[in-house]
């Protein structure tokens, strides 16, 4: 269990919901010049089915020039789980979130988060009440 702080991010909405996730990540990385030195998050809003590919906002980022939306990933209490070698296990993400949701009461007013800690380590955060 973790207490996370609010995070200001720039993001791209996935067109067509979950089926547009790859396109959203491709567009975000193209606009900001790739992942080097960035913190990346996937944010899934269960109430609306919206997925956002997000990068932590830097002081020198100009969202208007980048043509990206700016938002806040809300902080609070989150249950967490890790997936190692995540590129080979993308299909396990929903399964791990489901397992967390059976153990904890999810707060559906906040998004479920994917934190891409590295090219090999993914941390999943389920917002809890």
All structural domains of the chain with their residue ranges: 2-127
- Give CA–CA dist 48/39, Å, rounded: 24
The residue assigned the tokens 């967490």 is 80
Nearest one of 10, 127, 126, 101 to 57, comparing CA atoms: 10
Provide mean pLDDT across the span 21-42. 89
pTM of this prediction? 0.93
pLDDT confidence bin for 8, thresholds 50/70/90: very high
2-127, CATH topology level: Multidrug-efflux Transporter 1 Regulator Bmrr; Chain A (3.20.80)
Share of the chain above pLDDT 90, in %: 81
Q: Check whether 40 has a pLDDT greater than 90.
A: yes
44: Cβ contacts below 8 Å, ≥ 6 apart: 18, 50, 51, 52, 111, 112, 113, 114
């Amino acid at each position: 269990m973790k207490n996370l702080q609010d995070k200001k991010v720039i993001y791209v909405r996935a067109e067509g919901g979950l089926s547009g996730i790859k396109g959203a990540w491709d567009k975000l990385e193209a606009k900001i010049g790739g992942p080097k030195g960035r913190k990346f998050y996937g944010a899934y809003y269960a109430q609306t089915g919206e997925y956002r590919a997000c990068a932590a906002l830097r002081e020198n980022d100009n969202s208007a020039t980048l043509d990206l939306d700016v938002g806040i990933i809300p902080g609070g209490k989150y249950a967490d789980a890790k997936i190692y070698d995540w590129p080979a296990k993308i299909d396990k993400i929903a399964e791990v979130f489901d397992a967390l949701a059976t153990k904890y009461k999810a707060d559906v007013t906040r998004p479920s988060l994917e934190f891409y800690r590295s090219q090999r380590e993914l941390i999943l955060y389920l917002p809890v009440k």
